[in-house]
Structures are given as C-alpha cells and as structure tokens.
Structure 1
C-alpha cells in the first residue's frame, strides 16, 4: 500500500492556522496573546455563520496529544473549584454541551473532583424521559436534550457549571439557563469555556440576565478576545466555499470518493503535498476488533449522568483496557490516533491518555463530527483534510454525512476507532463507511466498541423531585480536605474544621470516665512534638521503613489473593488511612491495579458510620469491600465492626460486607489478614494528624452529626508546616522494590497456613486489668501503637514495658518522661508495651499504689 505523506496539523504548524481565512475574508482575532495557539479558522457550509473557530486543544477537529486535551479541562475544573470554594464545589453539577464539549465538560468535572456530570445530547433514547432541552441557534444541529437517569441530578440547590468549547455570543448559555432556571431554580451558575469570544455588545448580557433571574453567573475561560467580522463576511464566505468545492470537484473528479462523500469531495491539494490515497480500501483482514472488556454497568459517557463513583470505576479499568489496545497495535506503530465518535468523546480521550502514558508511541486524539467544514490543504488553514462517510448510528434526523478532519495525510501508523455499540452498525463496516475510509490512510485500523448505556429503570416523565435529605454527598478529597492527593483516599466524613472541638486532656478524661461524655464527642489538643521527639520519629522511620514495606506487601498480597479481582479498600479513620494508602500504592506499583480507597469512621460503643456504609453499598459491591486498620490491640474495634456490620445488614437489608479487618500489625492475634503479628513501632503511631493527612480523629456528637450526616473530623490546615504525612508514605513506598520477593513469599506461606485468631491479646488484657486493679479492659491499651495514643491523648497512669524492649520504645520512654509517667518493666508481657489509664481519675487523684495521676 502506498503511504500518504505526512502533513503538519494546524496545532503543530509554524504558520498560524487562521491565516488563510484571515487573508481572504478579513476575519481577525484580537485579544489574549494565547488565542492563535488555541484557535485556527476554517469555513463551513452553514447559512447562519460562515467562519468556524477551530480549537487546537479540544480534540474534535484537530488531532492533539490527549494529555493536552484532558489537561485543559481538568485545569478549568480546578479553577472553578477555587472560585466556588470547597462547600459550594462539593454541591456542584457540571453540564456539558453536545457534541463538541462533551469531553471537555467531563474533564472539567474531573478537575472539580466531586461533581456529577451530565451532557446534553442530540440522540433521543427510547423510554428515557426528557428533563429539559434548549436550542443552540448557530449550530449545525440545534436541538439539545437532557436525559439524566436520576431526575434529581438537576434539582439540587448547588451551583450549575455549564461547559462549552467557546463562548461566542452567549445565546446558547442564556437559552440553557433560561430553560433550566424555570424548572430547577438555583442561586449560582458558572460558565466555563476554552475561549470567550463575545463582542462588546454581548459582554454585558450575561450579568444583566443574572440580575434578572436573581442568580450569580460567573465566567471561567483559558483566554478571551473577539472576532472581527467585516461587512458581508457571510456572503463572501459562502461564495468562497462554493468556488473551492467546484474547483475540487473538477480537479479531482477521478479520485473523488463515490457515494455520499461525492457531495462534498476531498480537498484540492496544494503543489508539492504529494499525499495520495491508494486505489481502494484495505481488506477486512486489516481491521482488528479489540475487546475492551468495558466494566458492566459503567456508562459510556455523561448522556444519562456520570457520578464520581463512575469516574473511580473508569479509572480503575483504564490500565487494563489500554493494555488490550496496546497489545493489538503493530510493533512499528510509532504514531497512533485514537478517534472518538461524535458525542462519545470522553471514553476515547481517557483511553488515549492511558495509551500516551504507558506506551512509547506518539499518541494523538480527535473525534468524528456531524459539522461540515471546507478542507483546504494549506498550512495556514485549520482543516487540512477531510474524510466523509455516512452516519452509522441511525440518527434521529435521518441518514446523512459525517466527517473526520486532519486524519488523512497525517502519517498515522494506526488508528483506533472508538464507537459506542449503537454506532456499531452495518453502515460503519460498509465499503464507504468510516472504517473503510480510515483504512485508505493508515496501515492498521483497530475498532473498540463501548457498550451504549441505557438506564435500567428509566424515570417517569415528571419534574425532578426535590433533593432528598438522605442523598449522601460524595467523599471529601485533598487538597480541600487532607494533605493527601485526591486519588489516594476519599474521606466519607463531614468537614468540621470550623468547629471548636478541642478540650484539655484532664477535662476530657474526667468527663469520659464519669460517664458525662463519650470520647468521640470532643478532640484532644493536638500534640506538638519537641525537636527531640521529631528526631526520634525520623530515626524510627529510617530504621523501620523496609520492615513496614515488607508488612504492607504481605497484607496487600494476601488481600489481592483472597479478594480478587479488584478489592475496594475502606480504611478506619484515621490510623488505618496511611495503611490503606500504602496498600493502594503496593497494588498500583507492584500489580498495576488502581484500587478505590475510602476512609470511614468507627467509634467504640457507637459502631461504624452507617451512612458511609450506605454510600459504599450504593457505589460498590459490598463483597469487594476490605476494611483496613493500622494495628490491633486487644481487638475491641474488630468486635465493634463485626457487631456494627451485622446490625447494619439487618436494618438495611444489605448483605455482603465482610467485617474481617486487614491490618499492618496484629500483635493481639485478633484477625486473619495481617502483615505481621509482631508488636513493633509503626512510625505513623508516633504522631497525630501530622502523619495522617492533617486530619483529626473522628467526631460523633448529636448536635453536629444528624441522622443523614457522615461522622465528622477536622482538617488542621494550620499545621501544614509540620506535616510529615506524605514523607512517611514516600519513605515506605521507596522500599517496596527491595522487599517484593520476600513479601510475596511470606504471603504465599500465610495463605497456606492456619491464621485463625487466637485472641491471646484479649486474654492478656483481661489478666492485666485484674492484676493492676483496673477492672475495665477499655482502660488497658496494649501494643506500641495504643500505648502511644494513651500518652498523646489521654491521662496515663503508667506504662508496662516488656523487659529488654529496645529502640521500638524510645519514643514511648520520651513521652512518658515528658508527662511524668512511670515505665515499669515486666518480664512476661505478651506485647512490647501496654499503656494503662487509671479508672478512678479525678483532678489530683492518686492511683492504687499511691502514685499521683499525671496531669
């Protein structure tokens, strides 16, 4: 097959890709200096507007690096989040415009992080109710439908974020807001676009309209400017298009494609271009169908709504799906195009970004379109080449032409066409269909089909109900909540950062032991470590990082073997959260598995957060959930979780949650899944929030946490200067490679061994409780981690240390010294140490042996 010569796309040309139109029609772009890099110009067959602004970063008409396309949307989303503030951003809904901005809007939702996404559509879906619609007056296809699976999606009172590729006159946005506000009124809208090209006359209309409806309307764009259109430009443009069509038809009649494409033939090529199409399409043998194994129930896009839970599911599935595409590419494929399909922009984009990240190929991304544009093979024109083929998705407006621009002549070694199943029709595979047209210009065509998502239970035709009080919010994520990266953990908590919850240690202890308050109703004052104590932490981390990495590997390998294929990690906040992140990192670095990870609250005597379980059950299969904690002491939380899950299942009728906890260290022999049963220092136990993402322990108080709320916690932003959370994680992660072989071998041995819990720790605690006259096992805190907590948060009586215990107790001895707490060595202690709280605590009280209780 003769290969066409590769041309430079407008995005990569030295000449501005608007020069050709500007010189012939006098059209000018003025404004932001970034505009020429973002936009080119072309002409189109449209009776309402002759010129077309062609984006170089949208991934529609111009093949572009997928990371550039996705990155622009994500950054716009982050800007919206900063504009709205965390509370409002957490209640926002993103709405993108079909067809051009469906992928951009989805990327903006990614940048917001917690926002559900919906895009308008021009494809009616049988049995799905229309929740609204509006007109785009200048578009080639004007009618937009809104078909959310959940009618409540648009009914909330949070901000509505409207995303389009360009903001030209403002008419489309005004039509949208007018239609939606009449049905779902709200107080704030944010309009997002890559470029704001409104004229001076149009600039004030949006603000004026906002005042008219009593709502605030903000605008967020990458760049702004105006398009100067000389008098008579529409007629001149139409005449110019007609002349070029006629010239192309006469000059290339022999090579013009037959069938539907003859009505708008291939472009007239400039001298010296040299790109020629082969005499006919490739054989069917050159088409490779790739089975993506798209996750069941995952929407193909935002036509019916796309939630953050859907986003997590897609992120988890992307590596494997991209690997299947990569395996089907020819070895010599150095330049690859992933070609999306009309409204199906986001799924192909994310597949392309993953290919770009994981392969050595030069990956580009664009999509087909229904918009007819003149193609002129000139470096100063944005649309160099055009492929024409019949519509293949049985569109509502009947058969017609569709187009793929700047694909022919671009020198792609392979094209991956990604369509939804509704478009996988005989017309797609016909001799004049898209696949045949692609095969004329590339050695290899791959076809990947994404199942077209249709809601299982379409909503009735009715107004969307008010948002119910029990509609639970999406997880909080960093950097808005915690210093962890947003992908590392989602916190199923409510943010109580603005509430004063701290109380002096003595007051808390007295209230807790007198029965006047529960320990979860207040917070201890955050311990500020001395320079000497901080050095102990760093020394301990350096000495134990490899040992910790080994334990992380053992417990993660065990979980992956027993809970395949993709467990959902749910850590018990907050001590379990660093461990959950490390387990997630192990799965990602050692297995390429991007596991979902959430943090939930569990409170001794009050149980686990039932609303968090409800959210998990609604977004994941409960059978996939693996609860994670840092360590076991006597096993109180293990028992608490088992009881709470049983009560939840009885009350909710939801089954499948396994109350078994996976822990890094199980010195009390309370669980089956662990990294070690040794009782040694886990450095994350040395500190409080500054090694736990700057998050407090969880809070459960009736005046702050209602029946439809998550448990609460605080984010100590003011402690950012002392934060060691990520440093701790990175130090352990850096040792993964050196311990992998040993960790996998030990996990394999454990999987074959009897790991039945003996509960010997509980028996030891009961014995100690009686021996020291405490008579309350809740005041006996066994193990290095629990002893550290006693010294940091409670009013300790004494510390029992195993005789001969070494450096693992250096920080315990220092804390005990600072608080005036005696350390008593015990020869036959089953734990490395045990912290004791005296049961008869009052101010100035003495213990059973006459020792003064420390204040």
Structure 2
C-alpha cells in the first residue's frame, strides 16, 4: 500500500501486476486481464466438458502472476484457447488505470466482444455517450466517446473493468447512467481486487432490485480492509538517489500503418491539439474484427523499436490512458524489457522496504499543463534505455518537462517514440 495525496481517500493499493506504478514484465499485466477473462468465461459459458481444462488454465494464470518468469507462457496458452462467449459482450475499462486491463480482458475473446474505455480527455467534436463521476478520485469526470452509436444500444451484458473495487460506488454510478440511456438486464463488475464491505455488497443487491437488473462481481482477490489515520498532503520531491548526467534524447516517428481519427482535443485553457488520435486505441470503441489489425500494428512497431535498443535493461513507458498498445509493444521487444505507465495519481513516496512507492518524479502533463503527472519507482541508472510512447504528437515544449526527467533517469538514451500513420518529413530527429 501507499499513502494517496487526496482528501477523499488516503490510501492506494500499489499493484505488482497492473503495470502502472511499479515497472513489471509486460506479460504480467497482460496476464492479469487474461485471468479476468477466464473468470468471466467460467461464469458465463464453461460447461462440465471443458471446465477441467479451464481450471487448469486458471491455475496456470495464477502461477504466472505470482511467478513472473512464467507469465508469458501462461498468457500465450490462454490466448491460444480462443475463448468464445455464448452471446455478445461489451467491455468498458475505467480510465486511467484500467484502460489496459479492460483491453487485455476483452482481447482474450476470439469473437462477439466489443470494447471501449472511458477517458478524461475533452474532444470537442464528439459527444460523450456516458458521463459519470468517480467520487473518491482526484479527477472525477469520466467521458465515453463511442464512434459507433450502436455500441451501447443493444441488450448484451456490459462488463465494467477496474483495477480495484473499494466501495463499488463508481460502478453503481456508471450502471445508473448507462441504464438511464441504454437499459439492459445484466452487468458484470470485474476487478483485480474487491474490498467491498457487507454494506457495499448490499448496495449492489439494492440496485438490482431498484433497476430490475443482475450484477455479478468477479475478482482475482477478495477481502476486507480497514484504514486508519489521516492522508498525507505533501509529497517528497524528486526521484531519489543520485542523478546521472543527462542521457541523450532521440525522437523517432514510427509509421505504424494504423488508421487515425481526425478529431482534436482541448485542454483546461481551451488550447487545441490538432494531432489526430489512433482510431483503434480503445478510446473510441473496438470490435473483435479490429484485433488482427491492431496485432499487425503492434508487431510492426516492436520490430522497429527492437532495432533501437542498445542496452540490456529497457523500460517502455506508456502515458496516462495510453497503456495497452505500449504494453503489447513492450512484450515483443525482447528480453530485459520492463513496462509501466505515467499516471495522474498523486502518491506520497517513501523509501521503505514495506512501502509501495519509493520514488516520485512530477511534471505538468503534455496534454494539459494544469494536470500533474507522475513517474514512480524508477531510479537513475536503473535502465540503460527508456522508450516513452506517445499516441499522438504534442508540441515539443509540452513534452520537455517529462523528457527532462527521463534523461536524468536513463543510463544511456531516452527514445521519444511518436506513433504516426504517415512518415514525418525528415524522419527521426534528436
């Protein structure tokens, strides 16, 4: 656990399998979503004929999560199972922490699945089909931009995916909003951790009765917690440890062959970024038929990035909500690669063996300078090369606060990788 710098909730569970606050092997967070997918399959469709096989796969998945050296094998075996649900299912991942978790869960199903993740980004040209609040969060508004207006209009079950359920209020708020616009009979709330109290569990039952729906909760670990004390509201500055000389920064535009969406974003000051978004990142909706195209793009990017590696210790860094594609790319970049993402979660760092966050580096977000982002648990010289992947281009002066920090952390070189559908004039630049 760690202390959250937040008056609404004073604690945070720092996951060793999520790939957010702690660097992990990329197959570990991919496997965590796959394990949730297997739980859903066992709940909705597994019969006696294949339950024994599925139980063995679940044992293998749990073993891989506990022992990361077996995570890749467990993930690949689960993917090879080609799971199919008896009816279409829509998955919704909660921003920012569970965007990759939800995507990995959805990706396990060979057909009949669709996915979208919520976002905190303001895209003026599009209208959010779902809007709700996360009451305990430092950033409360969730938006949901579905390009296909039919995505939420069916009667299929909706699976809400979050990394952790503490009270269940976020899921309740989401279900209420969806049900008021796109009513259906069945919801599933899937999470790595479920800490709901008896009263919180009853709140689900009460909502079922009120709305005439069914809510199923799935988690890899369930228990109860009690937290005492007051929140710490001031973080220790700096990343900790001795800083090395600034590593070289190399910017590379990588042509990925993936389709772009020609819409813009606006920050808190109304400043517009005209750079297009990846159409199939998950933010705008995906269907199973899109997965092959994404897989091809991931392999194409990873092949190019493997050739840029110079050291044996590499960190691949996603940015905020943009987690899943960098995670997948990291998984195909060879041995000695760790993955994590930057985050807007404010956490108090402290160097203790029994504490989840030992270092923190803060900087203004490239997407919105009013938002502070953090990189946790990376020490100077821990990695030879650091690759930070951007979904879309941003003005150089906006990304510099982040790259300045990374240059003090990397032992050799920082690669700023900007994904692009077409080659930029002049190619790579430093």
TM band (smaller chain): 0.7 to 0.9
Q: CA deviation at 1:354?
A: 1.5
Aligned CA distance change for structure 1 residues 407 and 155 (closer, same or farther; 3 Å): same
2:238 counterpart of 1:266: yes
- What's the TM-score, normalizing by structure 2? 0.81
The equivalent of 1:755 in structure 2 is none
2:93 counterpart of 1:92: no
Q: CA deviation at 1:292?
A: 4.2
Secondary structure, counterpart of 2:409 in structure 1: coil
- Post-superposition Cα deviations, 1:564-591, rounded to whole Å, max 9, x if no partner, equal xxxxxxxxxxxxxxxxxxxxxxxxxxxx
Distance 1:309 1:439 in 2: 39
Secondary structure, counterpart of 2:286 in structure 1: coil
Residue from 415, 418, 424 that aligns with 1:449: 418
Residue from 387, 390, 401 that aligns with 2:372: 401
Alignment of 1:653-692 (within 5 A): none
Q: How many residues align?
A: 365
Residue from 276, 286, 289 that aligns with 2:242: 276
Distance 1:429 1:179 in 2: 35
The equivalent of 2:404 in structure 1 is 436
Secondary structure, counterpart of 1:153 in structure 2: coil
Structure having the higher helix fraction is 1
The equivalent of 2:32 in structure 1 is 72
Distance 2:165 2:28 in 1: 20
Q: CA deviation at 1:219?
A: 1.0
- What's the TM-score, normalizing by structure 1? 0.41
Distance 1:373 1:172 in 2: 20
The equivalent of 2:77 in structure 1 is none
Distance 1:419 1:411 in 2: 22
Distance 2:317 2:143 in 1: 24
Q: Is the 8 A contact 1:266 1:375 kept in 2?
A: no
Q: CA deviation at 1:399?
A: 2.0
Aligned CA distance change for structure 1 residues 55 and 128 (closer, same or farther; 3 Å): same
Residue from 146, 150, 155 that aligns with 2:148: 150
Distance 2:251 2:420 in 1: 18
Q: CA deviation at 1:74?
A: 1.2
Residue from 395, 407, 427 that aligns with 1:425: 395
Distance 1:80 1:150 in 2: 25
- Post-superposition Cα deviations, 1:52-105, rounded to whole Å, max 9, x if no partner, equal 111111111111111111011012112212322288653110001010100000
2:10 counterpart of 1:50: yes
Indicate the structure (1 or 2) with the bigger Cα radius of gyration: 1
2:303 counterpart of 1:312: no
Secondary structure, counterpart of 1:440 in structure 2: helix
Q: Is the 8 A contact 1:292 1:324 kept in 2?
A: no
Distance 1:418 1:339 in 2: 6
Gaps of 5+ in 1: 1-40, 249-264, 270-274, 453-855
Secondary structure, counterpart of 2:101 in structure 1: helix
Distance 1:409 1:102 in 2: 28
Secondary structure, counterpart of 1:161 in structure 2: strand
Alignment of 1:293-312 (within 5 A): 293-297=256-260, 299-312=279-292
2:108 counterpart of 1:111: yes
Distance 2:7 2:399 in 1: 32
- Post-superposition Cα deviations, 1:487-525, rounded to whole Å, max 9, x if no partner, equal xxxxxxxxxxxxxxxxxxxxxxxxxxxxxxxxxxxxxxx
CA RMSD in angstroms comes to 2.0
- Ranked by relative contact order (alpha carbons within 8 Å, sequence separation 6 or more), the top structure is 2
Secondary structure, counterpart of 1:348 in structure 2: helix
Alignment of 1:278-677 (within 5 A): 278=244, 281-282=246-247, 285-297=248-260, 299-330=279-310, 333-355=311-333, 359=334, 361-393=335-367, 395=368, 399-409=370-380, 411-422=382-393, 424-430=394-400, 433-442=401-410, 443-451=412-420
Alignment of 1:720-735 (within 5 A): none
Q: CA deviation at 1:295?
A: 2.1
Q: Is the 8 A contact 1:75 1:111 kept in 2?
A: no
Residue from 36, 61, 75 that aligns with 2:21: 61
The equivalent of 1:191 in structure 2 is 189
Q: CA deviation at 1:400?
A: 3.2
Aligned CA distance change for structure 1 residues 70 and 131 (closer, same or farther; 3 Å): same
Q: CA deviation at 1:409?
A: 4.0
Q: CA deviation at 1:428?
A: 4.1
- Post-superposition Cα deviations, 1:320-379, rounded to whole Å, max 9, x if no partner, equal 21110000111xx11111100101011101101112xxx2x3111110111111111222
Q: Is the 8 A contact 2:255 2:420 kept in 1?
A: no
Distance 1:72 1:117 in 2: 17
Aligned CA distance change for structure 1 residues 221 and 319 (closer, same or farther; 3 Å): same
Q: CA deviation at 1:410?
A: 6.7
Distance 1:363 1:314 in 2: 21
The range that moved more, 289-298 or 219-228, is: 289-298
Distance 1:94 1:410 in 2: 39
- Post-superposition Cα deviations, 1:588-609, rounded to whole Å, max 9, x if no partner, equal xxxxxxxxxxxxxxxxxxxxxx
